[in-house]
Amino acid sequence: MVAICVPEPDDAAALGEIAGHARLTILVWDGSGPAPDGIGEVEFLVGPYMGGAFGPENLALMPRLRVIQLFSAGVEPWLPLVPDGVVLCNGRGVHGGSTAELGLAGLLALLHRLPDYLSDQHHARWDPQRGGPDLDDRRVLLLGAGDIAQRVATAVEVFGARTHFVARTEREGVSALAEVAGLLGDQDVVVVALPLTAATEGLVDAQFLAALPDGAVLVNVSRGRIVDTDALLAELTRGRLSAFLDVVEPEPLPADHPLWRAPNLLLTPHVGGGSSGWRRRAERLLQAQVTRFLADEPLANVVHDGY
């Protein structure tokens, strides 16, 4: 028997559908409350979103643990917790499509003035404005070259935008992050879809923003700490840039934070991966990973190999 611990009953139900199910013992625990019986046998742990209530003391109850599977793309709350010898896998693909959709939704909403028209709708005011720029022939810089960035790029190209990728490692069609400063003056839109690392934290600072041309749009659907909130607030307030942010620093944003009242900003509360489709995709990933684990096959989405 192989013991698996999942955070929600839905996850346990999903495992009922995989081949080899008869060999599984399934525990449900999100790290809060007392540990269930049999926790010491767990080899495969599905971590709750953003770490949930899990800490080192929880993981210490699982001496046989070999895999931690997350459904998020970002792994930063978990990295310091991973015991030696345990493989950490992320949820690449689970939230990517939905996050890319939200990024595009926010970008298009800004370009096409949906916040203004929503206000007009509330006031029963039919007032067509001279439109802003559309995507045709606009230059869109993608910070990141993964699933989210690729989807956003493919979608904006449908409308005639010209795209350029930047990522940590230079490769064909992708510039190195170290060269990003020289590219900023030529961009109409910058989409942040990079993981949060020591190299990306604070990347979009006052100097980065100052290098963008007047009227440029910043989209962040990755992690708030990649953008210097105060520097962005200054650019929004003087009306030089506009932005769509699904992620901010800090989260949750306190009610008295000036970002709430910033002009030229559309803000959503970190819901990029939260569409209802993610559940189905998470179940497919979990089924595939557990099937591999039972068959001693290599796991997908490994971000930390245990040593």
Q: Which residues bind a second copy (CB under 8 A)?
A: 97-98, 100-102, 104-106, 108-109, 111-115, 117-118, 120-121, 124-137, 151, 154-155, 158-160, 251-253, 255-257, 260-261, 265-271, 274-278, 280-281
For the bound state, the minimum distance from the C-beta of residue 72 to a second copy, rounded and expressed in Å, comes to 14
Say which residues have a Cβ less than 8 Å from residue 105's Cβ, sequence separation at least 6. Answer: none
Listing DSSP states for 238-286 in one string gives: TTS-EEEES--SSSSPPTT-GGGG-TTEEE--S-TT-STHHHHHHHHHH
For the bound state, the minimum distance from the C-beta of residue 155 to a second copy, rounded and expressed in Å, comes to 5
Q: Which residue, 165 or 278, is less far from a second copy as judged by CB?
A: 278
Q: Which residue, 268 or 287, is less far from a second copy as judged by CB?
A: 268
Q: Catalytic pick from 270, 279, 292, 304?
A: 270
Q: Catalytic pick from 92, 95, 223, 225?
A: 223
Q: If we measure between CA atoms, which residue out of 58, 48, 149, 55 comes closest to residue 97?
A: 149
Q: Which residue, 66 or 257, is less far from a second copy as judged by CB?
A: 257
**Among this protein's residues, is 223 annotated catalytic?**
yes
Say which residues have a Cβ less than 8 Å from residue 87's Cβ, sequence separation at least 6. Answer: 66, 67, 68, 299, 302, 304, 305, 306
For the bound state, the minimum distance from the C-beta of residue 180 to a second copy, rounded and expressed in Å, comes to 25
Q: Which residue, 113 or 240, is less far from a second copy as judged by CB?
A: 113
How far apart, in whole angstroms, are the C-alpha atoms of residue 27 and residue 18?
Answer: 16
For the bound state, the minimum distance from the C-beta of residue 277 to a second copy, rounded and expressed in Å, comes to 4
Q: If we measure between CA atoms, which residue out of 182, 74, 156 comes closest to residue 166?
A: 182
Extract the runs of DSSP E, i.e. beta strands, from 29-132: 42-46, 67-69, 87-89
Active site amino acids:
223, 270
